[in-house]
Amino acid sequence: MKSSLAIARHELRRLFVSPLAWSLLAITQLLTGLLFALTLTDISLNPRSLGAYDGVSEMVGGGLLRFATLVLLFVVPLLTMRLLAEERKTGSLELLLAAPVSLVAVVAGKFAGLMAYLSLMLVLIVAMPLSLRLFTPLDLGLLASGAIGLWLVMAAFTAVGLFLSSLTREPTLAAIATLGVLLALWLLYAVSTMDWQPVIFGFALPIAGAAHALSLIGHRDALLHGVFASADVLYFVIFTLCFLALTVMRLDMDRSA
């Protein structure tokens, strides 16, 4: 535990001395802030638009968290690309693997360090719809469920990026690979919305249902609608742990080589 915390603090320190981390934080806040302002402007100019949603919380908060997921699709690969790929390229990964620290502690520390940074980003995003509580009633349960959903998406994206960063020594290649995998997971959600059941040997294959069960975005949407189901949370936990375990296995191959 102490080793993981030390590595997490080191990663967090590295992030906050990096211009890239500050730039991504600023850009994310700028983009989400613009959407927040535009949504409030739309409500003020066209109050009837609220009729299509379940109140301000869903229209403003839900819309903002959905957009934040799209932003994270591009932000997370830029953050995870350096976690292991850059260290492999500079040679510092060999020193880390030679240290008397378990690989689980190494992976957990790097994951926790980046998640601390992303959690700060989440707090700043959620603070925007929460500020409306001064002027209008809000469904805090819906906002809390949506915030948890976005945090779980952050964890899943980070785990994917960490694993792909462990496969190469080129940070740029790690970022591109992570973006490609995350886009594929996003497209899986698009497949889940199609009414498509191909028939093979007389059996109808529930492609849409299977895609929805495997889709990150599908499970996130349930949480954004305030439906807090243990199955959705468990999906994210298993997904994240699987990719973290794959990262540990990849580093074990490096240590054994």
pLDDT single digits (tens) 106-149: 899 999 999 999 999 999 999 988 888 877 777 788 888 888 98
Task: Evaluate if residue 52 carries a pLDDT over 60.
Answer: no
Task: Evaluate if residue 201 carries a pLDDT over 60.
Answer: no
Taking only the tens place, the pLDDT of each residue in 221-233 is 778 777 777 888 8
How far is C-alpha 147 from the chain's CA centre?
11
CA distance 160 to 59: 30
Percentage of the chain beyond pLDDT 90 is 29
Q: What pLDDT sits at residue 95?
A: 76
pTM of the model: 0.88
Q: Which amino acid is at 131?
A: S
Report residue 48 as tokens: 């009837």
For the chain, the straight-line distance linking the first and the last C-alpha, in angstroms and rounded, comes to 26
* pLDDT band per the 50, 70, 90 thresholds, residue 203: low
Q: Where in the chain does DSSP place strands (E)?
A: 199-200, 203-204
Report residue 113 as tokens: 């360090």
**If phi over 0 gives left and psi between -120 and 50 gives alpha, with beta otherwise, what is residue 194?**
beta
Of 110 and 216, the structure prediction assigns the larger pLDDT to: 110
